[in-house]
Structure formats: C-alpha cells, structure tokens
Amino acid sequence: MRLSQYFLPILKETPKEAEIVSHRLMLRAGMIRQQAAGIYSWLPLGKRVLDKVCRIVREEQDRSGALEIMMPTIQSADLWRESGRYDDYGKEMLRIEDRHERELLYGPTNEEMVTDIFRSYVRSYKDLPLNLYHIQWKFRDEVRPRFGVMRSREFLMKDAYSFDLDQEAARNAYNRMFVAYLRTFTRCGLQAIPMRADTGPIGGDLSHEFIILASTGESAVFCHRDYLDLKVPSEDVDFRDPQKLAEIVTTWTTPYAATEEMHDEAAWGTVPEGEKLAARGIEVGHIFYFGTKYSAPMGAVVTGPDGKDVPVHMGSYGIGPSRLIAAIIEASHDEAGIIWPKSVAPFDVGIVNMKPGDAECDAACDQLYRELGAAGLDVLLDDEDSRAGAKFATMDLIGLPVQVIIGPRGAKAGEAEVKIRATGERETVPLSGLVGRLTA
C-alpha cells in the first residue's frame, strides 16, 4: 500500500478524552474513530489489525475442532424468556421493539440462540461432541463506556459453545478451548495467565479468565511467578487426546493465580515470598462450563447410549478481538507509539522514501516495495512529500515491526537503513540482499 493512496488520519494532538495509553495510541494512529459513546469505527489501519487477530483466533478455533457459524446480532426476546435471562440481564441489554411491536434485543452473548440451534437439529449422543463458534458484533449497554475499544458498547466477540453428553466429556471440551486459548494469546504476542474466575451472569461452576499483566490493567491479580516460564503447547498438540489436554490444563492451573474477586489470602500465604507476583491485569478471554443451565430449561436433549434422553452439558468460551487489540497495545508500546508483535502488525514492513520525486530514490523504493509484496509481505510505502521528522514519527507511532529508510544518497550507493521498531536497532544494509533478509 502506498501512503499517498491510503487513508491514515494521524492525529498530532493527544485526544483529551482518552484515559489509557491504548485508547490514545489507537486514536492517534488513525486506527479507530468514536461514532457515539462506546461505539467505534475501525479505520483502514485498525481494520487490518482486527483481521489479523481474527484470523489467529479462527485458526486456533478450527484447529481445536470447533466449527464456524454466523448467528445474527438481533435476537428475539422470547428466546431469552425461555432461559429466564430476559429479565435478569438488566439495563446492559439493548432492548428493541420492531414495527410490529415484537420485542427484540441486540445480543450481548448467544447461549440461548445456539442452544436453540442445537435443539432444532441434534437428537443423538452420536452427533457429539459439537462446538459451534462465531465472530460477531455484540452490544452491551454499559453505564459508562470508556477506555476506547477496551470497554466499548458495540464490540466484536468470538464466542464458542460446546455440547457434550456428560460432565466428563464437557470437561474435555473445556480443556480443548483452554489449550486453544493459550495458543491464541501466545500467537498474538501476549503472555496470558489463566485464573479461576467468578461465573457472573453466564452461570455455571467452572470458569477461567485469561489475564495479561499490564500496569494499566483494570483489576488486581495475584499469581505465582512460575507462570512466566510455563511452555505454551505447540501447534501439533493433539486435540483428540483427552489425557494430554488434561495434563496441560493441570500444569497451567496448579500454581496459584487469582483475580481480586477470587483471591484467597490463605492460599496466597503459602506461595514463597520471592515467587509472589501481585500486579494489574487485563482480561482477554473467559471460558465457562455451566452444565445443563441452558439445555435443561430450553429442552436441548439428546438420546444417550442407554436410549434415555438427557439434557446436554454445555460450556461457552469468549475472546473479544477488539478488546484484545487494545490489550496488545497496553502490553507493547513505548513513548513513540505502538510496537506491534509481528503476527498482528497491520503491515510487516514500512518503507520510508526520504525524497519522493528523486528518480533514484523512487526507483529503489518502488523496486523494494514490489519485491517484498511479491514475496508475500504486507508493505506500507511512505511516498508522501513530508518532513523527515514527521515520516519517522508516523512510522514509530503506527509501530510496524521493520522500517526501511531510503534516501537519495543511500539509493545511489545501493544502501538502505533498516530499523527494528521493538529494539530501536538501526543498521545500514545493501539493497541487494534486503528482500532475502526481510523474508528470512
């Protein structure tokens, strides 16, 4: 993408309304724009990051055996009356009346609807296990939306729902998602720690939040230092091996870890003083096992091997890709701007043409741009006629992993300067070997 043909509305001033660094940087880097309280547009740069995050989420859901569907945003109130949550949910639910005065709502989550899909088609335990997920916009009418996309009203959520014959099988489904989540966050460049959590309005008796440590985190968290060194399962982890999955989950749930609400001073006291990590955390995922809480009242039953009908055991599993992006920025930035992990960077490489209009400089930049593109990299070429200082500031702000700076003198000498955003390292390298080096 050439910057001259792109829409990247960088803000020079720091927006006053932004209280946390990710919100400030997303506004300044032209990633998002607020359209109403807690409702955002994603501008081209933000949309690219959102796509990259969703792709990772999707790949790990698919790998674990979950199947992607797409449920609508608007739901019928009647469905929520079946589970009893229509009245329970309170003012966070956006309630709507259509032209025929039928009661609708904008889905804050989809347990009821997916249970309705299940009960409409599935009759036998032979069709289990089943895990259906979608990535769809949700709406929760927060009293005070804030922190940009970290706590917005309309937000994107990946929500998966598992269906199993009994508690043991459901526990295995829970473990599959647990492992998929570990892999998802690692691939997004985050170190996420699973912590026992309160089940809240979803209900159930087993739940973990995945928390990343960040000084700006919304809640206090307490965990054993061991978590920082635990190994995340590789991509060839066998999701069909319940034993292996259970071992991984045991490893990842044995050291002490708890959010403020679940904190247990007695257990915390047993952690050696030097191993205690009391910090702030941001929730990036939340998984639940809630048994038959929805299937029983809604009649989602299957015939078991013994010929008897039983309500299915369910779990639900959420990741908010929009919030996840803010969390990544909270965890990875400096004074100058965002520092994207490679896997979610909007572009892999930024080329800075220091003197657009200079024939040699243009030719060197264009050739590199074409060659890197042909090699499968996403490249942003700054071909605009602006000051060097502004060009560097923009590149640092938008945080592409690698910057390649080409000026007239370098172009003539066949050289470019390569800057690694994360470390600030700079090196002058010959243009000839650059493509090989950047694609290695």
* 65 lines the binding site for a second copy (CB under 8 A): yes
Piece of the chain touching a second copy by CB under 8 A; list 133-141, 306-314, 330-338, 366-374: 133-141
What is the rounded CA–CA span in Å between residue 338 and residue 29?
9
Structure tokens at 290: 């809630």
Minimum distance from residue 169 beta carbon to a second copy (Å): 15
In the bound complex, what is the minimum distance in angstroms from residue 229's beta carbon to a second copy? 35
Q: Which two tokens stand for residue 241?
A: 């091996």
| Residue 423 to residue 71: CA distance in whole angstroms | 43
Q: Segment 347-386, which members bind a second copy (CB under 8 A)? A: none
Applying CB under 8 A, the span of 20-28, 67-75, 81-89, 228-236 interacting with a second copy comes to 67-75
Question: 3-state class of 37 per DSSP?
Answer: coil
Q: How far is CA 339 from CA 25, 26, 122, 248, in A?
A: 11, 12, 46, 30
Distances (CA, A) of 46 to 27, 35, 326: 10, 15, 11
Residue from 55, 76, 244, 356 binding a second copy (CB under 8 A): 76
Q: How far is the CB of 13 from a second copy (least distance, A)?
A: 13
Rounded Cα distance between 234 and 183, Å, is 8
Q: With binding defined as CB under 8 A, does residue 115 bind a second copy? A: no
Q: Does 120 bind a second copy (CB under 8 A)?
A: yes
| Closer residue to a second copy (CB): 36 or 266 | 36
**149 three-state secondary structure:** helix
Q: Among 94, 150, 331, 365, which residue interacts with a second copy (rule: CB under 8 A)?
A: 94
- Our CB check for a second copy shows the closer of 54 and 220 to be 54
Kindly state the tokens that stand for 163: 């269906």
Is the CB of 5 or the CB of 243 nearer to a second copy?
5
Cα-based distances in Å from 144 to 43, 141, 153, 269, 344:
24, 9, 9, 36, 29
Rounded-to-integer distance, Cα 26 and Cα 322, Å: 11
**Binding residue for a second copy (CB under 8 A) from 12, 16, 99, 387?**
99
CB atoms within 10 A of CB 226: 15
Contact by Cβ (8 Å): 52, 347: no
If one asks whether residue 42 binds a second copy (CB under 8 A), the answer comes out as yes
73 binds a second copy (CB under 8 A): yes
Q: Of 14, 15, 17, 67, which lies in the binding site for a second copy, with binding defined by CB under 8 A?
A: 67
Q: Can you give the binding site for a second copy, defined by CB under 8 A? A: 5-7, 9, 30, 33, 35-37, 39-44, 46-47, 50, 65, 67-76, 79, 91-92, 94, 96, 98-99, 102, 104, 106, 113, 116-117, 120-122, 130, 132, 134, 137, 139, 141, 143, 153-154
